[in-house]
Amino acid sequence: MPAKRPPDSAPLDAYRAKRSLERTPEPAGTIAPDGGGRLFVVHQHAARRLHFDLRLEMEGVLRSWAVPKGPSYDTAEKRLAVQVEDHPLEYGDFEGIIPAGNYGAGAVIVWDRGEWIPQGDPLEGLAKGKLLFELRGYKLHGMWTLVKIKKSEKDWLLIKERDGWATTEPEPLPEQSVLSGLTVEELAAGHTPATRIIAELDRLRAPARRVNARDVELMLAEARDDAFSKTGWVFEPKLDGYRVLATQDATAPGLRSRNGNDLTPAFPD
């Protein structure tokens, strides 16, 4: 018999409280005394030239570097990182198209995002031209250094430090946005996360009708006498977690637990 599951919401309350604390937005245009938050974002930006923008939250803003070739897990690859203007914290959520005629016109995706952990005082490091930090993202992990090129105004190098994540033969990192699953090309072409799903539903000639999420029952695991197997299926052990129904209406996405609880605030990403 499986162990009795904890009530749906218990561990979520703590998580939710932590997230809402972390994610309280700074009022626009102000600079907090010490940032506090440690958000990092890597945008991929199809401007005149395709490049990456590494952004680190410091003093309530996103300090930013344009990295033409993007980060590499090879410690021998020193990637040029040109410091550019600070961006407001809210820009960490931006994914979309900067309209023609504006600076940086072109498509932008959130290529990676997470928490950065500076080793030592980051403001001192910034002033001295050497920042050592850990990244805890979806694609980027482990220790990294930003080191300023001597006698240069804005040119830095982004270098992977030796650790368990470093490798001399890095695999190409996934191209897709960690928010939408779209590549920067797909976003530029006007796709949305639903484009592929809609095409598949059309192909299957699914009937179009309004669905009320409250009327939808979640599929649950059930016991069978015989083990099931079939070519093309992959099996994995059932790990603890939440069975969740994801919904999308005209206004917003939502997540509901099997008991009908709203889990949306607990998983803002």
Rounded Cα distance, 179 and 166, in Å: 25
Nearer to Mn ion among residue 159 and residue 184 (C-beta): 184
Shortest CB 43 distance to Mn ion, Å: 6
Nearer to Mn ion among residue 67 and residue 140 (C-beta): 67
Nearer to Mn ion among residue 53 and residue 95 (C-beta): 53
In the range 122-151, which residues lie near Mn ion by CB under 5 A?
Answer: none
Which residues are paired to 48 by β-bridges? none
Shortest CB 45 distance to Mn ion, Å: 4
Question: Of residues 4, 151, 230, 238, which has the active-site annotation?
Answer: 238
Return the closest-CA partner of residue 80 out of 108, 109, 44, 53. 53
The residue with its CB nearest to Mn ion is 45
Nearer to Mn ion among residue 53 and residue 134 (C-beta): 53
Burial 71-99 (b: 16+ CB within 10 A, else e): bbbeeebbbebbbeebbbbebbeebeebe
Nearer to Mn ion among residue 94 and residue 165 (C-beta): 94
User: Which one of the spans 37-45, 170-178, 216-224, 235-243 is the region binding Mn ion (CB under 5 A)?
Assistant: 37-45
Shortest CB 52 distance to Mn ion, Å: 8
Please name the helix (run of DSSP H) or strand (run of DSSP E) that holds residue 122, with its range, or none.
Answer: helix 122-128
User: Is 238 among the catalytic positions?
Assistant: yes
Shortest CB 102 distance to Mn ion, Å: 12
Shortest CB 110 distance to Mn ion, Å: 13
Question: Does the footprint of Mn ion cover residue 55 (CB under 5 A)?
Answer: no
User: Which one of the spans 39-47, 138-146, 206-214, 248-256 is the region binding Mn ion (CB under 5 A)?
Assistant: 39-47
Q: What are phi and psi of 185, to 5 degrees?
A: -70, -45
User: Which one of the spans 53-61, 74-82, 216-224, 242-250 is the region binding Mn ion (CB under 5 A)?
Assistant: 53-61
In the range 207-246, which residues lie near Mn ion by CB under 5 A?
Answer: none
User: Which one of the spans 9-17, 48-56, 117-125, 194-202 is the region binding Mn ion (CB under 5 A)?
Assistant: 48-56
Local structure of 215: helix, strand or coil? helix
Question: Does the footprint of Mn ion cover residue 95 (CB under 5 A)?
Answer: no
HEC profile for 165-210?
CCCCCCCCCCCCCCCCCCCHHHHHCCCCCCHHHHHHHHHCCCCCCC
Long-range pairs for 90-96: beta carbons < 8 A, 24 or more residues apart: 90/25, 90/28, 91/41, 91/55, 91/62, 92/39, 92/41, 92/55, 92/57, 92/62, 94/43, 95/177, 95/179, 95/180, 95/187, 96/187
Shortest CB 1 distance to Mn ion, Å: 55
Rounded Cα distance, 56 and 146, in Å: 11
Burial of 197 by CB count in 10 Å (0-12 exposed, 13-18 middle, 19+ buried)? exposed
Question: Does the footprint of Mn ion cover residue 45 (CB under 5 A)?
Answer: yes
Q: What number of chain residues touch Mn ion (CB under 5 A)?
A: 2
Question: Does the footprint of Mn ion cover residue 53 (CB under 5 A)?
Answer: yes
Would you tell me which residues interact with Mn ion (CB under 5 A)? 45, 53
Catalytic residues: 238
